[in-house]
Amino acid sequence: MKCRVCRGPAVIDVRRHNANFCAEHFLRLCRDQTAKVIDEFAMFGPDDRVLVAVSGGKDSLALWDLLLELGYAVDGLYLGLGIGGYSDRSGEMARAFATARGATLLEVDLPTEYGYDIPSGSRAARRVPCSACGLSKRHLFDKAALDGGYDVVATGHNLDDEAAVLFGNALTWKTEYLARQLPVLPARPGFPRKVKPLVRLGEREMAAYCVLRGIDYIVEECPMAAGNKHLGYKEALNLIEERSPGTKRDFYFGFLARAASRFAEGHAEDQQDLTTCERCGAPASSEVCAFCRLVEKATRTAEPVAITRKAQAG
């Protein structure tokens, strides 16, 4: 196996590109693909302040590293979701990376700052964990970016993630989600710009990138996600990709080039009619935003425990 660029010994094959790469040229490929996407979709420029949401996993840590390597002004944001040891370990990975690179990491801890964690909060609010988690993440990413004066929030969604989400949304024709499944969502009042600079790179490549760059990441998956539909869609696409390398890329980028705008037309009105949440000031479709309603429900049962603890302490 020889590197396509230098003909030296290769360390990885990328079947989608029908090519093998040595470590140096593989890392260059990752940087080039990231830079290409940033440019192609006008995600941000050298003067923008970027906040990268880091989960402690391979994708978001690789993204942070790539953006630093490309010379962008980029800080990290870690949300402590209170998912037991999984959250403790993922936070440690994010902190270790920040320390090693001398980079700034902002942290928001759901249990200490909002009084609930994802496992018990989602039960109390009668939501599936990933839905309570997704809602909390979106709200807190937006808030951290706006409070901190960042121009854009970047997440580590890769090609495998985006193709699987697209596959799921197409199987069930969720047109309102298809309208918004873009690598860039422009800023709107109360919302920062959101970007996904890893959409040209796959999961396996991001793991290889971290290994070659000596980045320690949390390998275990979130325990709350086990068995969810999204993982099933990923497995199905992996079977197809195995037989026809490049299918995921063609599916996702074909959607962006030829289909996404058709869904957007039908959903332009979804963007309107937002008011301001009377509790937190975020954009909302009713008096109180979905996040504040979640916090209220999620902390309702937790409250007596907190009061008892305080009473005992006092």
145: left (phi over 0), alpha (psi -120 to 50) or beta: alpha
Q: Report in angstroms the alpha-carbon separations of 121 from 79, 257, 304.
A: 15, 40, 14
Beta carbon nearer to ligand AMP, 26 or 217:
217
> Given candidates 277, 294, 295, 298, which one binds Zn ion under the rule CB under 5 A?
277
Beta carbon nearer to ligand AMP, 79 or 292:
79
CB of 224 to ligand FES, least distance (A): 4
DSSP β-bridge partners for residue 191: 188
At 175, give phi and psi (nearest 5°): -65, -30
> Given candidates 50, 77, 106, 224, which one binds ligand FES under the rule CB under 6 A?
224
According to the binding rule CB under 5 A, does residue 30 interact with Zn ion? Answer: no
Contacts (Cβ under 8 Å, ≥6 apart) of 278: 287, 288
Beta carbon nearer to ligand FES, 194 or 200:
194
Beta carbon nearer to ligand AMP, 69 or 203:
203
The length of the chain in residues reads: 314
**Which long-range contacts link 125-133 to residues 24+ away (Cβ below 8 Å)?**
125/294, 125/297, 125/298, 126/297, 127/294, 129/224, 129/225, 130/224, 130/225, 130/228, 132/294, 132/298, 133/81, 133/224
Crossing angle between the packed helical segments 23-40 and 203-213, to the nearest 10 degrees = 120
According to the binding rule CB under 6 A, does residue 155 interact with ligand AMP? Answer: yes
According to the binding rule CB under 6 A, does residue 59 interact with ligand AMP? Answer: yes
Using CB under 5 A, count the residues that bind Zn ion: 12
Using CB under 6 A, count the residues that bind ligand AMP: 14
According to the binding rule CB under 6 A, does residue 98 interact with ligand AMP? Answer: no
Instruction: Give the count of alpha carbons within 13 A of 253, CB side only.
Output: 14
Beta carbon nearer to ligand FES, 83 or 198:
83
> Given candidates 30, 79, 152, 277, which one binds ligand AMP under the rule CB under 6 A?
79
Task: State how far the Cα of 124 lies from the Cα of 122, in Å rounded to an integer.
Answer: 5
- Residue 98, binding choice from ligand AMP, Zn ion, ligand FES, none, Cβ under 5 to 8 Å by partner class: none
Beta carbon nearer to ligand AMP, 221 or 303:
221
Residues binding ligand AMP (CB under 6 A): 53-55, 59-60, 77-79, 81, 137, 155-157, 161
